[in-house]
Structure 1
Amino acid sequence: MSHAQLLEREFEENLCAELAERGWLYEDDGKPMGWDVGLAMVPADALHWLATQYPDEYEKAVPGDLVGEQRAAAERKLLEHITKELAKATRMDPTTGHPVGGLLGVLRKGFSFAQIGRPAAKFGAMMEFPPANPNLTEVVEAADSVRLRILRQVRFDTKTNESIDIVLLANGLPVVTMELKTDNTQTVNHAIRQYKEDRKPGRSRPLLTPGRALVHFAVSNDLVYMTTKLQGGDTVFLPFNQGNHGHEGNPPSGTGSSTNYLWREILARPTFMRILKDFALFEPGKSGKKA
């Protein structure tokens, strides 16, 4: 392994370790065990959430009397249906103001799953968020049970072994991807170029399909850029920096990278859960910052 690769791996390990201290699951050093590259999710986490939060509906989708290959086939059908829901364009329900379809719709609203010869299962949201009223104990418990997971070096192409540095998931569904570069060897522009040139969406790359993750971060020790849609050379990255006394970039940090606010503050579990909840307040197709 080259010196540059060692530096980048150290950066990656430190970032993930600090996220783990802030409420994220980081098992076996983030090895992508359980990751299904074709479905672009961690099936065990997705099924666990549905089975524990909506047991009656889960029984309709995956009857308890199924075992072995039959049970595995029923679970696979359910998971494949979720990917179809995730592939839909998100729209806002004019009555409720909630997102319908796509990742945001699945996270906030849920989905229905119909099968021939069985009653339709109507699953609620794939996530629960901490309520403003802490006395709502059932909601608090559900929010606490959300599995926020870190995976490292995650395959994104069913035909190759290419991987993305970090993927962050909520109940098995990817919500954030990250490419990291250390400023001692490369700049954030190398990560941006990597997304544009080597991370183009395609049929064999479901993780990179527009809408399958909420945001993609290009991160170096000094700078952060982000995009919500990968589209090859047309991908638009925007700065996600704090500013430095009226200038671009970020102020120096006395305890590590200048960009550590990203994982120490923004991606820390409590803040990230609030951001994820508010994300659906933006109408699909529009951009801007919440006032």
Structure 2
Amino acid sequence: MNIHKEISLENEICDHLASHGWLHEAEDAKRYDRARALYAPDLLEWVKTSQPKAWEAIAKSGDTALLDRVRKQIDARGTLDVLRHGIEMIGVDGTLKLAEFKPALAENPEIVARHQANRLRVIRQVKYSLANENSIDLVLFLNGIPVATSELKTDFTQSVEDAIDQYRYDRPPKLGGRTEPLLSFPSGALVHFAVSNAQVFMTTKLEGKATRFLPFNKGDDGAAGNPLNPHGHRTSYLWEEVWDRESWLELIGRYIIAQKDKKGQPNALIFPRYHQLDATRKLVRTVLQEGPGQKYLIQHSAGSGKTNSIA
């Protein structure tokens, strides 16, 4: 019964995304490359479609050379940097883009075409581990590169805390002396969501039992959690709003902040919490309507990230 209810939630989320610009097929999980933590068909199709001249050069060396190069660069620089800035590759003139994010103002037709060519995919029950057959409920990909994972629970059976514990105790970034490519920082998925019908929590860095999860909830009339949703789950804003195609691309391209150490290596990722994302998007819409030079108030509770919202 528990599994049946979770599968129903998986179905609902995947069906919604599939009908709103995401790719999703029943056999996707079988095509996932555990060792490289890549969904190769989308990565290859993205390059072929968005950068045909580069693809001509890459095709001469074969698919493996591209996949290995992408994995090596992600390991060296982190997932976010590779997605935002692309990679250099022998035989390819200039930078090989691995995603195209919509610029704030420019309407260059080539950029618009590449932006529209982005391949967002959701895959369920992904067997990710190099050491066992564990699977994660949902993994989100951008052009074949994993950007988010999600463990789902239904409040009829288990709570969001059970999903958090699953990450802390059953999803270690290293196991048996080997790094799990999908779960490692900063070269794995950018964010990990623990989701129930009622609440959402997230983290950008899995550290076993020391992992710190932050709420990704809307708030409920001044209290924690989420308000009742007359049309479905309290947490449906996650897949209907945040994971909306344009919203999700903008979030990855513009909102996530990488903090780096003295050697220039990322040591933390700041992923906006829901209220920060909501506040900044409302500000942007208002400024576009009213013009620059106005004064605005950002009101968050103590310690909830006002500085980053303002920035």
Change (3 A) 1:182 1:51: same
What is the alpha-carbon distance in structure 2 between the residues aligned to residue 175 and residue 104 of structure 1?
9
- Report whether the alignment pairs 1:124 with 2:96: yes
Equivalents in 1 of 2:153, 2:111: separation in Å? 39
Work out which of the residue numbers 252, 259, 266 in structure 1 matches 2:242: 266
Deviation at 1:122, TM superposition (A): 4.2
**2:190 pairs with one of 211, 214, 222:** 214
Instruction: Please give the secondary structure, in 2, of the residue aligned with 1:253.
Output: coil
2:165 is matched with which residue: 193, 197, 202? 193
Q: Secondary structure at the match of 2:31?
A: coil
Moved more, 121-130 or 259-268: 121-130
Counterpart in the other structure of 2:21: 23
| Equivalent residue for 1:177, pick from 139, 145, 149 | 149
1:279 positional shift: 3.0
| Percent identical residues | 39
**How do 1:234-249 residues align onto structure 2 when only pairs under 5 Å count?**
234-249=210-225
CA gap of 1:262–1:155, structure 2 versus 1, over 3 A, is: same
Q: How does 1:5-84 map to 2 (within 5 A)?
A: 5-28=3-26, 31-63=28-60, 74-84=62-72
Matched residue type, 1:58 = W
Equivalent residue, structure 2, for 1:231: 207
With over 3 angstroms needed to count, the CA separation of the structure-2 counterparts of 1:280 and 1:226, relative to structure 1, is closer
SS state of the match for residue 70, structure 2?
helix
Give how far 1:137 is off.
Answer: 2.1
Q: 1:153 to 1:257 in 2, by over 3 A?
A: same
Q: Residues 113 and 137 from structure 1, CA distance in 2 versus in 1: closer, same or farther, beyond 3 angstroms?
A: closer
Q: Does the alignment pair 1:168 with 2:143?
A: no
* Alignment check: 8 A CA contact 1:38 1:204 kept: no
- 1:197 CA displacement: 0.6
Give the drift of 1:159. 3.1
Contact 1:218–1:226 (CA under 8 A) maintained in structure 2: yes
Q: Is the 8 A contact 2:50 2:117 kept in 1?
A: no
TM-score normalised to structure 1 length: 0.84
Greater RCO between the two (CA within 8 Å, min separation 6)? Answer: 1
Question: Partner residue of 1:153?
Answer: 125
Supply the AA of the counterpart residue of 1:126: L
Q: Distance in 2 between matches of 1:112 and 1:31?
A: 28
2:256, 2:269 within 8 Å by CA — same for their partners in 1? no
- Which region of structure 1 is more displaced relative to structure 2, 42-51 or 246-255? 42-51
- Kept in 2, the 8 Å contact 1:159–1:204? The answer is no
Equivalent residue pairs, number: 263
Contact 1:243 1:249 in 2 (8 A): yes
The farther-off stretch of 192-201 and 49-58 is 49-58
* In 1: Cα distance, 2:86 partner to 2:235 partner: 34
Consecutive unaligned residues in structure 2, runs of 5 or more: 261-267, 271-304
- The Cα of 1:120 is off from its aligned counterpart by 5.9
* C-alpha deviation, 1:286, in angstroms: 6.2
Shift of 1:20: 1.8
1:111 equivalent to 2:113? Answer: no
Shift of 1:290: 3.2
**Root-mean-square deviation over aligned CA pairs:** 1.9
Give the AA of the match of 2:130. T
Moved more, 127-136 or 210-219: 127-136
1:224 and 1:259 in contact (8 A); partners too: yes
CA-to-aligned-CA distance 1:145-185 (integer Å, 9 cap, x gap): 10000100001112322100000000000001000000000
Contact 1:57 1:123 (8 Å CA) reproduced: no
TM-score, normalisation: structure 2:
0.79
Structure 1: 5+ residue runs without aligned partners? 64-70, 89-100
Q: Deviations over 1:173-220 (max 9, x none)?
A: 000100000000000000000001110012252111112111000000
